[in-house]
Amino acid sequence: MKKNIKSFEEAAEFHGHVCPGLAIGYRAAEVALDELFSKRSDDEEIVCIVENDACSIDGIQVVAGCTIGKGNLLFRDHGKQVYTFILRDGSDAVRVSQKPEFAMNSAPGASELMKKFFSGEATAEEEELYHKQRSDMIDKYLTSPADEVFEIRHVKPEIPEKARLFNSVRCAECGETVSESRARVKEGKFVCIPCSNEYGGINR
């Protein structure tokens, strides 16, 4: 079931450039919306748990409407191209994970070529090859059958807590306001985390 979603060009405009990582997130979000029979999340109707902080996240934000600011994009620092999309009403959830054979460096010699390109040691021919590999990979992410690119599993929904609102307090050190939930106490006064880090306590 296809949904009307923002174009890949719109995702690239938001992200700032076109790259395989953006294509991964874009396609993962597209797949998830199809699997969940859902439209883009206007508010918190969908929650996405992402397991990396790479370019793919911007594709997910554009397509699925899951963002840090709304509290429905949750980051887990696992370094994996894995994304779990959860319907807030608890009716369904889908886990979308990139298959190893679709990694950017999965082509023969791709890893070494990437290293040479970013170190500035690639020849003109190698640079051309690198850009072609990137372009081919983007096209594969966007056009290949979903089950070739990803492992797609419906999983038991584990509903995260909704985003909460907290009062703000003024830091006694720098004078800036800080969320009450993130404030620390230093010598009996509220301070922000950066100011509290300078507080070493009493040596005994």
Q: Are residues 188 and 95 in the same domain?
A: no
Rounded distance, CA 17 to CA 13, Å? 7
Residue 37 covered by a domain: yes
pLDDT at 165: 75
Q: What is the pLDDT of residue 82?
A: 96
Q: Are 21 and 71 within one domain?
A: yes
Residue identified by tokens 């850009």 is 131
| pLDDT of amino acid 66 | 97
**Mean confidence (pLDDT) of the chain:** 89
Q: Tokens standing for 77?
A: 């620092």
Residues 62 and 140 occupy one common structural domain:
yes
**Which CATH number covers residue 186?**
3.30.60.20
> Is the model's pTM score more than 0.95?
no
pLDDT at 198 over 80: no
pLDDT per residue over 90-106, tens digit each?
A: 999 999 999 988 876 66
Does residue 76 belong to any structural domain of this protein?
A: yes
Residues 200 and 64: their CA atoms lie apart, in Å, by: 43
Domain of 25?
8-154
- What single-letter amino acid sits at 169? V
Asked whether residue 29 carries a pLDDT value surpassing 50, the answer given is: yes
> Given pLDDT bands bounded at 50, 70 and 90, which one contains residue 3?
low
Asked if 150 and 192 sit in the same domain, the reply is: no
Instruction: State how beta strands 168-170 and 93-98 pair.
Output: unpaired
Q: Tell me what pLDDT residue 101 has.
A: 84
The CATH number covering residue 71 comes to 3.30.1330.130
131-178 pLDDT, tens digit each? 898 899 999 999 999 999 999 999 998 877 776 778 888 999 898 988
Residues 145 and 198 in one domain: no
Q: Has residue 3 been placed in a domain?
A: no
Same domain membership, residue 181 and residue 143: no
pLDDT greater at residue 25 or residue 109: 25
pLDDT for 142? 96
The answer as to whether 172 is a domain residue is: yes
